[in-house]
Structures are given as C-alpha cells and as structure tokens.
Amino acid sequence: MIDTDNTHKSIRSIVGSIHHHHGGSVKTVIYGLGLSQTKQNEIRLWENIDYVDVTLEFVVATRKDTTQPKYDVGLWRPLIIKHATEGINTV
C-alpha cells in the first residue's frame, strides 16, 4: 500500500480491517511518501507491518530546494511495484 498525508486515515482503516479479519497474520508492506515522522513512527508500531520510506529507499540525489516536495504517487508506483515483486516477493 502507498501511504501519503492525504491517505493516512484510510490506510489506518484498511490495516485495522486486515488485522480484524486475519488476526494480524497477514504481512503487509506500506510505502510511505512524504509522511511526517509522527505518522512513520505510528506505522512502525503496527503488528506485521513493514514500512518503507520511498524517498530514503529510492532517491539518490539531494535537493537544493529545502521546501517540502510535492509527491505524485503515480510516478512512484512502477518503482514500488518492482521493489515489492523483487525485493519483498509480494504485491
């Protein structure tokens, strides 16, 4: 799942539903895109959830502009799918 500041509440509900119906036995990976440190820490506390910070995982250059970047989930989706299928072996 891809989590952004705009979708975090929905992701929280989806993870809760997965845990409710499967007893926390399903391993889930959440790819965070532009999340605050507080939200990242919250996700890391969830049971059977792996968190991947997209910018730390995939961005290799630093930006000169220090303002908060705008993320387009669609641009990152192919890299996330590739990472999930090759690195984690799950989609």
C-alpha to C-alpha distance for 54 and 31, rounded to whole angstroms: 6
Query: Number of folded domains in the chain?
Result: 1
C-alpha to C-alpha distance for 36 and 24, rounded to whole angstroms: 25
C-alpha to C-alpha distance for 24 and 29, rounded to whole angstroms: 13
Model pLDDT, residue 72: 73
- Whole-Å CA distances, 7 to 13, 25, 54, 56, 71: 10, 23, 15, 20, 13
Higher pLDDT, 72 or 42: 42
- State the residue range of the domain holding 55: 2-88
- Please determine, for residue 15, whether its predicted confidence score (pLDDT) is greater than 80: yes
Once rounded to an integer, what is the mean pLDDT over residues 55-76? 69
Q: How many CB atoms lie within 10 A of CB 87?
A: 11
